[in-house]
Structure 1
Amino acid sequence: MKRYLYFTLTLGFLILWSSCRKDFEFSPSTGSLQFSKDTVYLDTVFTNIGSSTYNLKVYNNSDDDISIPSVKLAQGETSNYRLNVDGMAGKSFENIEILSKDSLYIFIESTIDINNFTNPNGTYLYTDQIEFDAGTNQQKVELVTLVQDAIFIYPDRENTTKVIETLTLNIGGELVETNLQGRELLPEELTFTNTKPYVIYGFAAVPPNETLTINAGARLHFHDNSGIIVSNGASLNVNGEFSTDQDLLENEVIFEGDRLEPNFADVPGQWDTIWFLDGSINNTINYATIKNATIALLSDGNPNEATNKLTITNTQIYNSSAFGVLGRNTSIAGENVVINNAGQSSFAGTLGGKYNFTHSTIVNYWNNGFRQFPSVLLNNFILDEDNVATITDLAEANFNNCIIYGNDNPEIILDEIEDDAIVFNFKFTNCLIRFRDNNNNFTGPNYDLEDTNHYEGNTFNEEPNFLDTELNKLIIGDDSAAINKGLSTFATQVPNDILNTNRTTSPDLGAYQHITFPEED
């Protein structure tokens, strides 16, 4: 009985209380809204590519529930911005309600065609406003977007309908239809300049026996699942030059994704790879920055050519979700190469091949999850789906005056399937290496660090003293164990470091001569 009486009294109180509330009595706004920002910068976008979604928070700090008579874009239906207000999409809205001491989210996007404007000169600053209410109560929030013009390479040749074509590749003289989206570059597309950025959808294939030349200062941006393929008999020549401004990198060739917003600046895996097919020849990359790929550089085949299949110099490779450089029974030479932050290995020479790196910094400070492999992985085999191994020669793998380090241990693995008919040749000379085998997991002649056939003049497990590994700043400081440890023979071969500083007098290990870091406050 008491429980029934309590329920009756409670129900009666709720009915009386609710009848006194003013939940549905909204007063007109009085121009006293507050905003999370007075200007929304949507960062830089390429023409006709949709932006990320940005948000604006609108606050009602008054004691009254209010209704905003109108929320709209100043340019109305012609605006290149799009809004979502309280779950509704559009460009103008009426009677938007906000409870007392509550707030409202507005989401903003844009897609802008730079060709709609007069004399954009490569970039155009597009602006609009969100207007709240009208007359004396009107309040405004500015919208700003910088639009960048570009040269677009779509799978279809007309660049109009964006029809996805299946890419057919010439592999070893045989035409092979792939499941890749993309097309071969046309003759007039085989020189990339620095006039405008290039935005590539799908794979841009260099046709057999042709050369894609990329001039100093060029900028290449790849959409998701996109990249470059260098076909049988074809070549890629990246002709970057030293940049005096190391923030702008005005003369380097830069490869990255097509999202220009700051939040995407260091996100791995935004595009696929630059892939040198078996049969491609005389590929060179000089003064390039390659970042945010899945596999930045993938090279297949041609291990026994008189010249290297791929030569990389003065190049930085960062934030690869799988491998920075992956070689598969191929030949790669590198000087002043810097690789960091890869989901697996920064450098992997697999299925044998021929690899030579001098004065390079090959490290891995991946912090986006667990990685299975070390900074440098060498092996001489591949396993098929039945776990049957194909074994080939590791003809040579030489690392001279290099730094091989990272946030795991050990940072080198020499994974050999022994076969009397197969060679497994490697040598680390005057390198700083992280290799500490506390549990004796790595045994056998490949891990005999006293064997001068494989290891000579190296320094193990001492600190390289990098400036900032998270920001890919791998210059070494005054306290680095790499200082003055370089062999002059190799320094003479590569007399200047990646910043064009002469190293021949007292060579440090890696791609950089050391500097004095500024003291922290």
Structure 2
Amino acid sequence: MRNFFIFLILLTTVILSSCRSEFTFEPSIGNLAFSKDTVYLDTVFSNIGSSTYTLKVYNKTNKNIAIPKVRLAKGQASKYRLMVDGLSGKEFENIELLANDSLFIFVEMTSSIADANPADFLYTDQIQFGDFTNFQKVELVTLIQDAYFIYPSRSGSSANYTYEQIQLGVDANNNPITITGSNLSTSDPINGNELHWTNTKPYVIYGYAKIPGNQTLTVDAGARVHFHANSGLIVSENASLVVNGNHSTTDALENEVIFEGDRLEPQYRDVAGQWGTIWFLPGSKNNTLDHLTIKNATVGLLISGNDGTNIPTLDLKNTQIYNCTNVGILARTGNITGKNVVVNNCGQASLACTFGGKYDFTHCTFANYWSTPNQTCLVVSDDKINNVPTPLETANFKNCIFYGSANLSLALQKNGMAFNYQFTNCLIKFFDSNNQYGSNALYQFATNPKFINCIIGTNSTTNKPYFKNTPTNEFIIGEQSAAKGSANPTFSTFNDILNKPRTGSTDMGAYNYIIFN
């Protein structure tokens, strides 16, 4: 009996196997469908690889087909690269595609500006499906931008490269503190004068670029600067950064200076943390930033000290900072003045004035609509460094707005004796729902003389700023705003951030109000 059952199992297996039909594929040069007729690879820098883009190919027939060739029209000379069925190359034969099935093709490219059409800087090719004379096609288009590239030198082999280091100082044991980067030069053999950034073509920074002591980096209006991951700009002791942006009259922001990451694809437009920071070392001096926009950094501006004089180490005018994973402006014993400064969407704080220092901000908008509830707009604190007190000498905020998605827009942290702060005609969100700060003398808005003519948003419905559109960083206030007409005109001696005059009854924040729906 046991042998009989074994015989039945073997017989069933043979019968089923004999009934199974093999797949057959017919050559096909048409009737394919595509997810896109043209694949636009977003702007890339000369000789820098693109991201990977996806094309989906559909066989909408009821027949299994074999595409004779899938190839780039320019063949092996093409600057594009394909991956088909898990294989990389530029030409493939007999690509099988089942009935009513689909196929993914991945596209990348690396090209020099010299390869692009000089009239429009476009590099183009086609993916062809069929044979050499009869085929369907999908167009490939990429805009290539030339750029100045600033990067650390390297030595050694590909298996063990050693990269150039720049010195930041010494530690407690007098050992040098270094970071991967390069010192900017007035006579670089490739870039020429690296201490004057113009608007002729973008700058792409790898590692940290350092302004040497007793040197000034001047940035012209309209300049565009792109930082790679883990990169940034360092201003040394006795060095200066001067950004000479200006008011723009078109949506192209032709006179604004923009510092951002080097990923140009639309999906990275507002992604925080793509690069490091602009770092002002202790002793840097005479730094002025006008019409500068900083986007998608870890920390927008890091100020780790001052130059020891009464002149502000950093003077900010018409400066915007958005999408920082940590802090928009992080100052440690800083000396900063700011007019028409706008900061939003920072993981911890938009402005942090820590370890004391001197600060004076007028007509600024410190918003924070980060996606978690633990962030704030402003942190002000004193402390000690090496057991030496660092008092808060002054922190003056005049005609400013502090408002965001969290309930509390202020964090005042007094640790020592000197803690001198003043808010004059400011709109402040402070929704202390649990009365946690009811007995804290620092937050007695009605009776504390540190708050003069301030408007406090104590719940989610009253004293709102009515910003135009916070997700797109549009912080113009509307006609219903509590900030409208509530500023002290004594401090309104300069135009708003859009270069509109402040006249009559002026508005809090960096913008004059407008009427919008």
- TM-score (ref. length: structure 2): 0.91
Match of 2:445 in 1: 449
Partners of 1:375 and 1:405 within 8 A in 2: yes
Partners of 1:465 and 1:476 within 8 A in 2: yes
Deviations, residues 370-410 of structure 1 (Å, cap 9, x unaligned): 364411011112689xxxx7641001111111110000010
Letter in 1 for 2:451: Y
Partners of 2:116 and 2:122 within 8 A in 1: no
Report the RMSD for the aligned CA atoms in angstroms: 2.6
Letter in 2 for 1:428: F
Identical positions, percent: 53
Match of 1:416 in 2: 414
Q: Distance in 1 between matches of 2:113 and 2:175?
A: 38
Identify if the C-alpha distance between structure 1 residues 34 and 381 changes in structure 2 by more than 3 Å, giving closer, same or farther: same
Partners of 1:156 and 1:183 within 8 A in 2: yes
Identify if the C-alpha distance between structure 1 residues 18 and 107 changes in structure 2 by more than 3 Å, giving closer, same or farther: farther
Q: Distance in 1 between matches of 2:253 and 2:91?
A: 43
Determine whether 1:260 maps to 2:264. Answer: yes
Match of 2:396 in 1: 398
Letter in 2 for 1:209: N
Match of 1:149 in 2: 146
Q: Distance in 2 between matches of 1:175 and 1:113?
A: 45
Q: Distance in 1 between matches of 2:483 and 2:8?
A: 82
Match of 2:321 in 1: 317
Cα shift at 1:437: 1.1
Match of 1:31 in 2: 30
Identify if the C-alpha distance between structure 1 residues 255 and 237 changes in structure 2 by more than 3 Å, giving closer, same or farther: same
Q: 1:407 is matched with which residue: 405, 408, 431?
A: 405
Match of 1:71 in 2: 70
Deviations, residues 385-442 of structure 1 (Å, cap 9, x unaligned): xxxx76410011111111100000101010111x3xx300111111111102121222
Q: 1:217 is matched with which residue: 207, 216, 222?
A: 222
Partners of 2:29 and 2:131 within 8 A in 1: no
Identify if the C-alpha distance between structure 1 residues 401 and 24 changes in structure 2 by more than 3 Å, giving closer, same or farther: same
Letter in 1 for 2:147: A
1:218-233 mapped onto 2 (5 Å cutoff): 218-233=223-238
Q: Distance in 2 between matches of 1:74 and 1:432?
A: 61
Q: Distance in 2 between matches of 1:457 and 1:142?
A: 62
Deviations, residues 138-168 of structure 1 (Å, cap 9, x unaligned): 100000000000011111299xx99621112
Partners of 2:170 and 2:177 within 8 A in 1: no
Deviations, residues 441-495 of structure 1 (Å, cap 9, x unaligned): 2242111112342111111112111111111111111221110001011112xx2
Partners of 2:71 and 2:90 within 8 A in 1: yes
Q: Distance in 1 between matches of 2:10 and 2:421?
A: 84
Match of 2:190 in 1: none
Partners of 1:169 and 1:175 within 8 A in 2: no
Partners of 1:282 and 1:308 within 8 A in 2: yes
Match of 1:115 in 2: 114
Partners of 1:31 and 1:136 within 8 A in 2: no
Determine whether 1:272 maps to 2:269. Answer: no
Q: 1:206 is matched with which residue: 202, 211, 215?
A: 211
Letter in 1 for 2:75: G
Identify if the C-alpha distance between structure 1 residues 306 and 382 changes in structure 2 by more than 3 Å, giving closer, same or farther: closer
Partners of 1:478 and 1:515 within 8 A in 2: yes
Q: Distance in 2 between matches of 1:93 and 1:262?
A: 31
Cα shift at 1:11: 9.1
Identify if the C-alpha distance between structure 1 residues 67 and 20 changes in structure 2 by more than 3 Å, giving closer, same or farther: farther
Cα shift at 1:18: 5.9
Q: Distance in 2 between matches of 1:63 and 1:136?
A: 25
Deviations, residues 263-315 of structure 1 (Å, cap 9, x unaligned): 11111111100000000001000011110111010011127522101011011
Match of 1:351 in 2: 355
Partners of 1:291 and 1:318 within 8 A in 2: yes
Identify if the C-alpha distance between structure 1 residues 403 and 260 changes in structure 2 by more than 3 Å, giving closer, same or farther: same
Match of 1:282 in 2: 286
Partners of 1:431 and 1:459 within 8 A in 2: yes
Letter in 1 for 2:163: I
Partners of 2:375 and 2:406 within 8 A in 1: no
Find the residue that maps to 2:472 and give its secondary structure: coil
Deviations, residues 173-194 of structure 1 (Å, cap 9, x unaligned): x997434111111022111111
Match of 1:435 in 2: 430
Letter in 2 for 1:398: N
- TM-score (ref. length: structure 1): 0.90
Partners of 1:215 and 1:239 within 8 A in 2: yes
Letter in 1 for 2:414: E
Find the residue that maps to 2:267 and give its secondary structure: helix
Q: 2:136 is matched with which residue: 131, 135, 139?
A: 139
Identify if the C-alpha distance between structure 1 residues 310 and 134 changes in structure 2 by more than 3 Å, giving closer, same or farther: same
Q: Distance in 2 between matches of 1:43 and 1:51?
A: 8
Identify if the C-alpha distance between structure 1 residues 198 and 32 changes in structure 2 by more than 3 Å, giving closer, same or farther: same
Identify if the C-alpha distance between structure 1 residues 48 and 104 changes in structure 2 by more than 3 Å, giving closer, same or farther: same
Q: Distance in 1 between matches of 2:382 and 2:375?
A: 15
Q: Distance in 2 between matches of 1:179 and 1:171?
A: 9
Match of 2:484 in 1: 483
Deviations, residues 485-508 of structure 1 (Å, cap 9, x unaligned): 01011112xx21000111121211
Identify if the C-alpha distance between structure 1 residues 8 and 365 changes in structure 2 by more than 3 Å, giving closer, same or farther: farther
Q: Deviation above 4 Å: which 4+ runs of structure 1? A: 7-11, 14-23
Letter in 1 for 2:423: F
Q: Distance in 1 between matches of 2:282 and 2:97?
A: 63
Q: Distance in 2 between matches of 1:487 and 1:79?
A: 63
Q: Distance in 2 between matches of 1:175 and 1:46?
A: 41
Find the residue that maps to 1:425 and give its secondary structure: strand
Q: 1:236 is matched with which residue: 238, 241, 253?
A: 241
Moved more, 136-145 or 21-30: 21-30
Partners of 1:131 and 1:140 within 8 A in 2: yes
Find the residue that maps to 2:349 and give its secondary structure: coil
Partners of 1:349 and 1:378 within 8 A in 2: yes
Identify if the C-alpha distance between structure 1 residues 22 and 178 changes in structure 2 by more than 3 Å, giving closer, same or farther: farther
Partners of 1:344 and 1:371 within 8 A in 2: no
Match of 2:454 in 1: 458
Identify if the C-alpha distance between structure 1 residues 483 and 436 changes in structure 2 by more than 3 Å, giving closer, same or farther: same
Q: Distance in 2 between matches of 1:402 and 1:426?
A: 14
Partners of 1:399 and 1:428 within 8 A in 2: yes
Gaps of 5+ in 1: none
Identify if the C-alpha distance between structure 1 residues 51 and 108 changes in structure 2 by more than 3 Å, giving closer, same or farther: same
Letter in 2 for 1:453: P
Identify if the C-alpha distance between structure 1 residues 165 and 316 changes in structure 2 by more than 3 Å, giving closer, same or farther: same
Partners of 1:171 and 1:278 within 8 A in 2: no
